[in-house]
Structure 1
Amino acid sequence: MSEPLLYRSTRGNSPAARIDEVIAAGLAPDGGLYVPEALPRLDASAFDPHGSLADTAATLLAPFFAGNPLADALPAICRDALDFPVPLRVLPHHQDASVLELFHGPSAAFKDVGARFLAACFRRLRPAGAAPLTILVATSGDTGAAVAAAFHRQPGVNVVILYPDGLVSPRQAHQLGCFGDNVKALRVAGRFDDCQQMVKAALRDVKLQVQLPLSSANSISLGRLLPQMSYYAHAALGWWRRHRTPLNFIVPTGNLGNALACLWVREIGLPVGEIRLACNANATLSDYFDGDPYTPRAAVATLANAMDVGAPSNFERLRWTFPHDYELRMQLHADSVDDETIRETIVRHASIHGELFCPHTATAVHLLDGMQGSGHALPWAVVATAHPAKFDSVVEPLVGRRIDVPPALAAMLQRPAGAEPLAASDAALRAWLVRQSEQERVAAG
């Protein structure tokens, strides 16, 4: 067996752990995020040039699972999770530009990749007869539906979704509440940052964990972040083989998990070039990369609601990757895009080019337009994070027509949906979880 790669907390006050332990725990005991003791290095020649996305993922992630009981199952885990396309489609009206479409999974958003990988891991980690595990998910719109779809009716696992009431699109809200069975949705009287804080507090609550085993499926979970590296690696390697130049990415980002996955692909040695972060009006990251001190703040509501994050959790992992501000600012660029510009971008590309983009993808398309207008001639890939049909209430009035709904999303929208109200406090979530646990014990006899 290979020498195992171990993982430590970004805060440095937790014991080293194996990848299976990290995936099961979600958050480190000291409240930090798990990171590998060192990022492995890989060369493009290690990958099968004719391999599928699942094949690329298995090769890419093998060093992260080295020496672990899950290592032998990794190829099968990747096949289970990554069974839908993630095409790199040429944008015909842009010079040397493409769009990486990540919305062809069950919930029509990029979060399907990490959620399905995590579910496939848990199916192999949970021993028969183990106490049910409750997975807590804070969502600003897309994560919750992806996790719900991935874990729906999976034995031994319950899913609890927390989302900010009134701050997700109507179709996102319907998705979050349409599963039932082992999936519960809670509409929180607050913002996404409140939901995220409540989940972290519950995961750190030792007494609660004894009573009710908990884990997480947010991008704070390394089991969700690592597989997201696969589509960047697959796209970049394909581009490299055809053109012998690195592919550059524009990534819409909120909690920074998707952007960090792209950065780590570059750091392990694969042909990724520049990385630019497209943010909405929540300017925590763009202000930092412009030279201001890193200052988390309360999130503001925008059209690109899945990016409405004022205190991105994965900044801790960015700091671990590049501990010094000057070094980190050399690695990434970030720009904020306001709602009016998002609207203008959606309208312009629909009317002139016939392209439909969700509000999140539109932030990245706006950055692409600006760079190409100023003569920035590198090959760029815009990361399309969600299908525009998820945001029909925003996009359809702007483009003046109905958007075709993908079949999997249409099936979700036909189910009845509902969510329970919850106050935005750690105590409220704790009380709800304890009450739910007691009700399930009574029902089980």
Structure 2
Amino acid sequence: MQLNNLKDPQQVVDFATAVKTGLGKQQGLFFPAKIPTLTGINHLLSMNTQSRNFHLLRPFVHENIDDEALHRIIGQTFTFPARMQTVNAQVSCLELFHGPTLAFKDFGARFMAQCLQHFAGNEKITILTATSGDTGAAVAHAFHGLDNIEVVILFPHGKISELQQKMFTTLSGNIRTLAVDGAFDDCQKLVKQCFDDPDLVQAVGLNSANSINVSRLFAQICYYFDALAQLPVHRREQTVVAVPSGNFGNLCAGIIAKTMGLPIKRFIASTNLNDTVPRYLQDGVWAPNATVETLSNAMDVSKPNNWPRIEYLIESGQFDRRLLSGLAVDENTTADTLQDLYRQGYLSEPHAAVAYQGLVDSLTDDELGIFLGTAHPAKFKSTVEAILGIELPLPEAIAECAKLPDLSTRLAPDFKALRRYLKS
């Protein structure tokens, strides 16, 4: 499959090139001109997860990855479930945090790591990525110890939870972490500036593992199919999915799944106070405000990188704009919703609470609701404990990391300083 640069239509690449380069010219995102549509969806949904994922991913990658290699990559990627958990008679949570770093980004990061290692051979690669929380851990663990691949992760100093941070700043070897004095948007800006420097890209073999890398996006399509596979056949077409949204890669993957033929009825983009997209969906004006710190810090993004892909699907007529609504949830409501979920017997965390609130605000009696649980509640231990008044035990994966020293380095939000660091 050929992938177009959404900012420079003259740049058309294959999947392997898109994975290895991350961003295109003018910081453009790679994306298929036409999403493939699949037939026999109910048959697909009856398959086991790995067999189904082979059929879902093959149309995107078959020109660069043969079937045998794709089966192997899928087998090494999808080793943990996307598990549906009932909250009440009408609503369930799709729990995406049963992977090694307890966050949904394990799916995409592991698939990208396996693809990149398959393509790289003996070529040296430097992964440069920014994180507002869970991406850092997922990327660090997915690439840790892989030959010829160095990883540099930027994160906003003091603006993610300590436990989130420990999940990726305690690794050594080929993983390096930089605490940037600024917001997540400053980290993203630095990453983009690096990719705009062709000499730097060439010198260190620069690549990105953010959700801007199309391999991560394609892997996320799969768990939307996992969700509907766990529902009764007669309820699938009445399913509404609410996605906690920051950089909008997760929602984009869901819309791709819908475009491929998955019978999701509609989507809700649930954000926190960083509400650029809900406002845009309401009034048609793209007007990002300064980023605001919130309880759902992994979504503290005011300029979501993946939105151009969704916009393209709408403008090209592949996705009906009327099937997407947006809702911004304030801090008090987030806390109240987390308490409401707990009273129903479901322990959650702020990001999923934002999605749940977006769902229940618009769900009709004949619809079935799914909201995405993107991270284990223990990753936001102090916040969850303060809101719910409980003591939350740490899963073993986090408890072990919490004991280790933080190996990150402070960095000013300065491109020249980052450039010197990368070249050194």
Q: Normalized against structure 2, the TM-score is what?
A: 0.95
Is contact 1:134–1:212 with CA below 8 Å preserved after alignment? yes
2:362 aligns with: 371
Match of 2:414 among 425, 428, 432: 425
- Secondary structure of residue in 2 paired with 1:83: coil
For the 8 Å contact 1:46–1:59, the answer to whether it is kept is no
**Shift in CA distance, 13/40, structure 1 to aligned 2, threshold 3 Å:** closer
- 2:94 is matched with 100
Of residues 185, 199, 204, the one that matches 1:212 is 204
Equivalent residue for 1:277, pick from 255, 262, 269: 269
Match of 2:160 among 149, 164, 168: 168
Q: Which residues of structure 2 form unaligned runs of 5+?
A: none
Could you say which residue in structure 1 is the equivalent of 2:372?
A: 383
Alignment of 1:393-408 (within 5 A): 393-408=382-397
Aligned to 2:292: 300
Q: By how many angstroms is 1:46 displaced?
A: 7.5
Distance 1:89 1:183 in 2: 34
Q: What do the CA deviations read for 1:141-189 (whole angstroms, capped 9, x no partner)?
A: 1101100010111111111110011110111121231111111110001
The alignment partner of 2:400 has SS state of helix
Answer with 42-51 or 232-241: which moved more: 42-51
Secondary structure of the 2:195 match is helix
- What is the CA deviation profile of residues 103-162 of structure 1, one whole-angstrom value per residue up to 9, with x for unaligned ones? 01111110000001011112211113x2x2110110011101100010111111111110
Give the 3-state SS of the residue equivalent to 2:207 in structure 1: strand
Is 1:112 matched with 2:106? yes
1:86 maps to which of 73, 82, 86: 82
CA apart distance, 1:411: 2.5
C-alpha contact (below 8 Å) 1:13/1:30 kept by paired residues: no
Matched letter for residue 303 of structure 2: A
Aligned to 2:403: 414
Conserved 8 A contact 1:239-1:247: no
Rounded Cα–Cα distance in structure 2 between residues aligned with 1:82 and 1:22: 22
Q: Are residues 1:143 and 2:132 paired?
A: no
Question: Matched residues in 1 for 2:234 and 2:196: separation?
Answer: 47
Q: Distance in 2 between matches of 1:321 and 1:244?
A: 23
Deviations 1:223-276 (A, max 9, x none): 111000000012124426364534220100000000000011001111111100
SS at match of 1:272: coil
- Give the total of aligned pairs: 423
> Is 2:372 the counterpart of 1:359?
no
Distance in 1, Cα, partners of 2:341 & 2:311 = 36
Identify unmatched segments of 5+ residues in structure 1.
436-445
- In the TM superposition, residue 45 of structure 1 has moved relative to its aligned partner by 4.0
Match of 1:235 in 2: 227
1:31 aligns with 2:31: no
Aligned partner of residue 361 in structure 2, secondary structure: helix
Q: Quick one: distance in 1 between partners of 2:179 and 2:201?
A: 23
Q: After TM superposition, give the deviation of residue 316 of structure 1 in Å.
A: 1.1
Q: Residue 48 of structure 2 aligns with which residue? A: 52
In the other structure, the counterpart of 1:440 is: none
Residue number in structure 2 paired with 1:153: 145
Could you list the per-position Cα deviations for residues 45-71 of structure 1 after superposition, in whole angstroms to 9, with x for gaps in the alignment? 475454332222211111111322355
User: C-alpha distance in 2, partners of 1:358/1:82?
Assistant: 24
Contact 1:43 1:270 (C-alpha < 8 Å) held by counterparts = no
Residue by residue over 1:401-435, the C-alpha shift from the partner in whole angstroms, topping out at 9 and shown as x without a partner, is 22232222223223222310111122221121112
Q: Check whether the contact 1:240–1:271 (CA below 8 A) recurs between aligned residues.
A: no
C-alpha contact (below 8 Å) 2:238/2:366 kept by paired residues: no
Q: Of 325, 336, 341, which residue of structure 2 is paired with 1:344? A: 336
Q: Which moved further from structure 2: 42-51 or 7-16? A: 42-51
Contact 2:45-2:226 within 8 A present in 1 as well: no
Asked if the contact 1:281–1:338 (Cα under 8 Å) also holds between the matched residues in 2, the reply is yes
Kept in 1: contact 2:108–2:219 (CA 8 A)? yes
Displacement of 1:307 in angstroms is 0.3
Contact 2:271–2:299 (8 Å) recurs in 1:
yes
Which residue identity does 1:337 align to in structure 2?
Answer: V
Distance 1:70 1:141, change over 3 A: farther
| Cα distance change, pair 415–53 in 1 and its aligned pair in 2 (3 A) | farther
1:225 maps to amino acid: L
Indicate whether 1:66 and 2:57 are aligned.
no
Per the alignment, residue 39 of structure 2 pairs with 43
CA distance in structure 2 between the partners assigned to 1:422 and 1:64 by the alignment: 38
**Structure 1 Cα separation of the partners of residues 238 and 231 of structure 2:** 7
Q: Secondary structure of 2:279's match?
A: helix
Query: Could you tell me whether the CA contact under 8 Å between 2:133 and 2:297 is conserved in 1?
Result: yes
AA of the residue aligned to 1:378 = E
Does the Cα contact within 8 Å between 2:7 and 2:25 map onto a contact in 1?
A: no
CA separation in 2, counterparts of 1:51 and 1:72? Answer: 19
Identity %: 35
Task: Give the Cα separation in 1 of the matches to 2:64 and 2:147.
Answer: 24
Partner of 1:332: 324
Once residues 244 and 376 of structure 1 are traced to their aligned partners in structure 2, the CA distance between those partners, rounded to angstroms, is 15
Letter in 2 for 1:417: D
2:132 is paired with a residue of what secondary structure? Answer: coil
Which amino acid is the alignment partner of residue 309 of structure 2? R
Written as runs of structure 1 = structure 2, the 5 A alignment for 1:248-267 is 248-267=240-259
1:185-230 alpha-carbon deviations (Å, 9 max, x no partner):
1000111111111111112210112211110000100011100000
1:443 matched to which residue of 2? none
Q: Is 1:170–1:393's contact at 8 Å kept on the other side of the alignment? A: no
